[in-house]
Structure 1
């Protein structure tokens, strides 16, 4: 498979990673080395689920870094509507500015989960909570760097992979080689579609740096989040070394049937389909998250 995306391997963005231990999530600050412009990929808002308490330690760490480096935030990029952590994008936006962007198929996700959570007609399902909806092949600028968006559905319908020079941010489309790939059994997910999306990523140049959204330290190794297209093609335990689409789909569907739902799926979906905002408060000023019984 070949790609038609505007790859410029001569551009090397500065990438700073922040690992959130509670959700195994890596947030990235991606900086243009020729200016002070930067973007954030997949930020985190903290939640104590049992206590129903929101906090912002993870986001504040990223904000402090950007402020200490004197950077200008241009974009807050979401690779998809995460089911395992809450986005900190609007909180960061209120502090630093920037625009929030996600794939245009967020509307599909909003339609599905708007019904699941019985959100009613006041919940807009047109993606208007986000500043920009991205199509496959769309580009945006981070200073002098060009970032292009690649639609990589399968884990969710709205998954996007972002490439900035010689760095690509895969969201949950791929994990580290010994981690394999993400599940494809959420509503709108599909293992065969995920395989095809992975092949799009693996058609990028062999020495393209790949940055993961999650790492779980399989087999007790230290947490890692950076690899290359070449390493994934050769060593990825789910799709590497020439594994076929049929082999992948069979494995993925059998594996997904054994997985529990993510611990934070209920709050994450309700918040992230709103671009990281909490549901609107009631007439007494109280905010609630719903738990659909036998509904997911």
Structure 2
């Protein structure tokens, strides 16, 4: 079936052989998270994808060490941040987008379906009326098929739900930043058992991504170092995923994937930082409003997830 969004994104990839973004990635082993800074060599404009705020859950203390490394790179290379892009509301790390925006500027963006996440988790955390569920914590809400630019480089938005309702992939030049939808081929695919997730939807989203040209560079949000591999890796290609992804390589049928994914998800524990992460990230990386004593508090709903 013809997919006009994928067709448009594929055309961007094919036109970008001589205008590919420069990508510098920062990996945090504590959360297995990769933050990507992509820049247009022609204009010096840039975007930051899936930033990270360091968080020690035991003490409740945050640190900007990882974000400061990104800031140092941006300033050292004289690039200008236009966008702070979130692929989804992460359940395994806190976003540093507000801190980076304060120091580097740029518009904070996520998919419009963050409204669904805000509604679902607003109920789970019993948020009051002060918590807006309209996406207003973000500067821009993207929809499937939207187009934008990073400097002179064309970019397209592909909605890839399944892991969560709000997952997006950003096709920017010859590169796609796909969040948690896929991992490295030797590790497979994202889980689909969070509220609003769905294995069948995830399979169809993956198939959309794998319809991009085989040479498309894929930048992942996480790597967990599959058994037998000694190094962390967060870059691959559509072609490599098509032929070698252990969960969704060519020839895998939807029903078989759904059965595998559901069985695997049932065996997984909740991510260690899911409760602080979602409470923060559904607010665009901001903590709940301080209480009378000036401190912000994160809730721990018992026997809920």
TM-score category by the smaller chain? over 0.9
How far is the alpha carbon of 1:241 from its aligned partner?
3.2
- Structure 1 counterpart of 2:100, from 70, 92, 104: 92
Aligned residue pairs total: 296
Q: CA offsets, 1:224-269, max 9 Å, x none? A: 1111111100000000031000110000000000000000001000
Question: 1:286 — aligned with what?
Answer: 295
**In 1: Cα distance, 2:303 partner to 2:7 partner:** 43
**In 2: Cα distance, 1:234 partner to 1:213 partner:** 21
How far is the alpha carbon of 1:140 from its aligned partner?
1.6
How far is the alpha carbon of 1:86 from its aligned partner?
0.3
Question: 1:41 — aligned with what?
Answer: 49
Alignment of 1:270 with 2:270, yes or no, is no
Alignment of 1:257 with 2:260, yes or no, is no
**In 2: Cα distance, 1:250 partner to 1:231 partner:** 23
**Structure 2 spans left out of the alignment, 5+ residues:** none
**In 1: Cα distance, 2:228 partner to 2:139 partner:** 40
SS of residue paired to 1:290? coil
SS of residue paired to 1:147? strand
Moved beyond 4 Å, runs of 4+: none
TM-score when normalising by structure 1:
0.98
**In 2: Cα distance, 1:141 partner to 1:12 partner:** 12
**In 2: Cα distance, 1:174 partner to 1:64 partner:** 29
TM-score when normalising by structure 2:
0.95
- Structure 1 counterpart of 2:183, from 169, 175, 180: 175
Question: 2:27 — aligned with what?
Answer: 19
How far is the alpha carbon of 1:194 from its aligned partner?
0.1
**Structure 1 spans left out of the alignment, 5+ residues:** none
**In 2: Cα distance, 1:22 partner to 1:127 partner:** 29
**In 2: Cα distance, 1:194 partner to 1:254 partner:** 15
Question: 1:205 — aligned with what?
Answer: 213
How far is the alpha carbon of 1:220 from its aligned partner?
4.2
- The alignment yields a C-alpha RMSD, in angstroms, of 0.9
- 1:109-120 equivalences under 5 Å are 109-120=117-128
Structure 1 window deviating more from structure 2 (5-14 vs 241-250): it is 5-14
- 1:128-277 equivalences under 5 Å are 128-221=136-229, 222-277=231-286
**In 2: Cα distance, 1:64 partner to 1:220 partner:** 34
SS of residue paired to 1:23? coil
SS of residue paired to 1:293? coil
